[in-house]
Structure 1
Amino acid sequence: MAVTTHSQSRTEPWIAPLARGPLHGDVSLPGSKSLTNRELVLAALADGPSTIRLPLHSRDSALMVEALRQLGVGIDEVAPAPGATPNPYGPDLRITPAPMHGDVRVDCGLAGTVMRFLPPLAALAVGPVTIDGDPYARKRPMHAVIQALVDLGVDVTDDGGGAMPFSFTGTGSVRGGSLSIDASASSQFVSGLLLSAPRFDEGLHLTHVGERLPSMPHIEMTVAALRARGVRVDEPAVGEWVVHPGPIAARDVTIEPDLSNAAPFAVAALVAGGTVRIRTWPTATTQVGADLERLLPLWGATVTRDGDDLVFDGGVGVRGGASLPGLELDLSRGGELAPALVALAALADGPSEITGIGHLRGHETDRLAALASDVNRSGGAVHELDDGLRIDPAALHGGDWAAYDDHRMATAGAVVGLVVDGGDSAADAPFGQFDESGVRVRPH
């Protein structure tokens, strides 16, 4: 199967490998995107320099770094401290706060954390700021951010559609106070406001008024990061937060591995069979990827801790003849795990319903429509629900898998490709090695 990535630099499909035997994987993950971009914002607003160790180096984090630099924040690459673990993915970062200025145009790319976290921070700068991103980013939900800025006294100019691009002129301060928003489309609306709230004149008393609030662990992550820097955050009720005005402490912080990005590797053990070891899995975390330790045993995986690592054992796997059950899952806590788990459910012998993920329609792409389209193009039977997907058993075949410029869609295609043979792979491939699969991952 070929996965098409739809990137500016890659137009040819990537041929997903076919597993010819069980895996024996050992994976060291890069840093958490969610934690990296939260800590970058807090460090930019802190009362002194901070060092972020083992940060993620990716397009999303690079866009955040560039946006902060445009606003006047000093960000330098530094060598690891003596005796510290070096980051194989890139240097540590030293962030030095400075008075922020406007006259900038922020490029958010497709990064939800940039487009939702930067505007409240940039409103504290002095001067005009424009927020924009990739063409598809202009379709992503932004009304709650724009309306929140207006309600906080920021003069925002947009086309009336509640989306990018939009502009405002910062005055160096934001009033703050009481604010109600509907964050049903993304928990990032809440996190973006909470992160900058200590620097608002009156802090922030934020209340969510929508019917649902997805991805609560991400908000818990934000609150924990604020409290770790000495900010007082009260939670008087579910969906209500009070951030008191005051300084944000400078702090050196080490970023945890990105546990959500462990999903395709851990799922691969159930598909191809064998074991996958994820290095330095934290014993306590606010990351939703930690739910993999609970979810994958529902499909038959054995999960054990070995020192600092977590080991996922898939037994013989689908490739070895294992039968995966159909499941009913509510992923409202962590919808980012859905693409890998939908790929797994598409290989199960019973029907599955994965719900609590309606908000994924507003992610890097409409992930519900994209998953249904990709699996069905491969011979599957996926139906969209109001709040999720129903996946019925079907015999999958090789073909094109569109990635839509979305890494989670690409890795979902790679998972399916482990056991979907296009019929042209060598029959005598060595056991335990990979051959060309029938899955071709294409950009779009």
Structure 2
Amino acid sequence: MTETPVHHALWPAPLASGAVDATITVPGSKSVTNRGLVLAALAAEPGWLRRPLRSRDTLLMAEALRALGVGIEEAVGPDGSGEAWRVIPAGLHGPATVDVGNAGTVMRFLPPVATLADGPIRFDGDPRSYERPLGGVIDGLRALGARVDDDNRGALPMTVHGAGALEGGRVEIDASSSSQFVSALLLSAPRFNQGVEVRHVGAKLPSLPHIRMTVDMLRCVGAQVDEPETGGEPNVWRVSHSALLGRDLTVEPDLSNAQPFLAAALITGGTVVIPDWPARTTQPGDQLRRIFTEMGGTCQLTDRGLVFKGSGRIHGIDVDLSEVGELTPGIAAVAALADSPSTLRGVAHLRLHETDRLAALTKEINELGGDVTETEDGLHIRPRPLHGGVFHTYDDHRMATAGAIIGLAVEGVQVENVATTAKTLPDFPEMWDAMLTGTGS
């Protein structure tokens, strides 16, 4: 885990004065936006990305693709329905430098794209990005014929020497530390001369819904994909060589970013409505409906969107979060306020995320008076009366929202560097205040 920052501003997390009653319009999905940008950039014709998320991670992706020669224009959607990006594919070229920040999707999805460029593409980013696993992508690309210089670190910084094409074919990788390794190879695979056959050969794959999202989006732009979900071999995905279609894609709300607002309803016994919650989706955040219902809430999909209500009581939970690891910080924050212990399992891979999330959650909740212990693959949380204090975030957006959740019920919580929420949820402090004062939508 990275060292505790000591120089960031402290944000006094607002204490809830009563039951919240709010409608929260959640910005678009980061996962869908960044996949949509990559697929549109590789298409054979221009496309639209409507209601994209504009956050640090997605702006980094857009700027990286522009550096490679892709046209991404700010525009009004084709039906006049609001802001959109018009993506105009072009011949990919270098030399160029890509700033990945600390965005896993950028650092993993774009090296395969870079193999299709003419010239060297250098990848660099925030200091924490150097510590995040990338070996599965690097090894996979080398096995498929790419030249990658990383000084044998298996991590950033590195340079991909694009040759204008990649042969592709069959490759075995260990993606047990990040499902993004699989998605990265699949997204560019239609442009590889032989397509690709990706075989995962490691321990259990985390975050499978994100791979399903990749597969669904590939099919939407005309790719042919064989996968385990549709009768294929376990842990094997095949994508055929083909042209990709330019599409008009509307980005769904980011359901994982709805988590802190739904948690507020659960904690305060209030009601939160999330408009445009999809009836069918591959987003992992959709599992919040089940998880938070088990923890004491009720929910209903209506014409208004998802209506979630808290009962005024929070129950502990024993849950496998291997497919929805990104939800762990928010669930841990709620569990620390519950009426019984919780065990969160299947998330050992979180030690390799924006920070070591398991160590960070343990330290920060315990320093507020909690009783959290790390297990081999998760956390055990025994609720205790909590007190105020500084909740450090380690430049991790989901740690920041976890601190805000606890602050609803615990007076005096100060969240360090709440601005890090801009990674995926711009204007979070303003949205949080509006929810609590009933002035927002």
| Same fold flag (TM > 0.5) | yes
Q: Where do residues 103-122 of structure 1 align in structure 2 (5 Å cutoff)?
A: 103-122=95-114
Counterpart of 1:65 (choices 50, 62, 66) is: 62
Query: Hey, what does 2:262 align to over in structure 1?
Result: 266
Q: Which has the higher contact order (CA 8 A, sep 6+)?
A: 1
After TM superposition, give the deviation of residue 6 of structure 1 in Å. Answer: 6.2
Counterpart of 2:295 (choices 296, 299, 303) is: 299
Q: Where do residues 316-331 of structure 1 align in structure 2 (5 Å cutoff)?
A: 317=312, 322=313, 324-331=314-321
Counterpart of 1:339 (choices 329, 349, 371) is: 329
Equivalents in 2 of 1:44, 1:185: separation in Å?
A: 27
Q: Where do residues 275-424 of structure 1 align in structure 2 (5 Å cutoff)?
A: 275-315=271-311, 317=312, 322=313, 324-421=314-411
Q: Is the 8 A contact 1:198 1:245 kept in 2?
A: yes
Deviations 1:283-313 (A, max 9, x none): 0000011111111111110111221400110
After TM superposition, give the deviation of residue 349 of structure 1 in Å. Answer: 2.1
Counterpart of 2:188 (choices 196, 217, 235) is: 196
Q: Is the 8 A contact 2:111 2:160 kept in 1?
A: no
Instruction: Structure 1: state its 5+ residue gaps.
Output: 422-437
Query: Hey, what does 2:34 align to over in structure 1?
Result: 37
Secondary structure of 2:14 counterpart: strand
Query: Hey, what does 1:439 align to over in structure 2?
Result: 413
Deviations 1:374-422 (A, max 9, x none): 101111111111111111121111000011111111000000000102x
Q: Is the 8 A contact 1:232 1:244 kept in 2?
A: yes
Deviations 1:17-40 (A, max 9, x none): 001111001100100000000000
Coordinate RMSD, CA, aligned: 1.4
Deviations 1:141-184 (A, max 9, x none): 01111111111111111122211001121100111000000000
Q: Is the 8 A contact 1:282 1:308 kept in 2?
A: no
Equivalents in 2 of 1:311, 1:442: separation in Å?
A: 31
Equivalents in 2 of 1:349, 1:290: separation in Å?
A: 24
Equivalents in 1 of 2:91, 2:102: separation in Å?
A: 27
Equivalents in 2 of 1:252, 1:97: separation in Å?
A: 14
Equivalents in 2 of 1:337, 1:442: separation in Å?
A: 20
For 2:331, the aligned partner's letter is L
Instruction: Structure 2: state its 5+ residue gaps.
Output: 419-441
Equivalents in 2 of 1:82, 1:136: separation in Å?
A: 41
Q: Provide TM-score, normalisation by structure 2.
A: 0.91
After TM superposition, give the deviation of residue 326 of structure 1 in Å. Answer: 2.0
Secondary structure of 1:19 counterpart: coil
Query: Hey, what does 2:212 align to over in structure 1?
Result: 220
Query: Hey, what does 1:102 align to over in structure 2?
Result: 94
Q: Where do residues 64-143 of structure 1 align in structure 2 (5 Å cutoff)?
A: 64-84=61-81, 86=82, 91-143=83-135
Equivalent residue pairs, number: 411
Q: Is the 8 A contact 2:273 2:304 kept in 1?
A: no
Equivalents in 2 of 1:80, 1:47: separation in Å?
A: 20
For 1:271, the aligned partner's letter is I
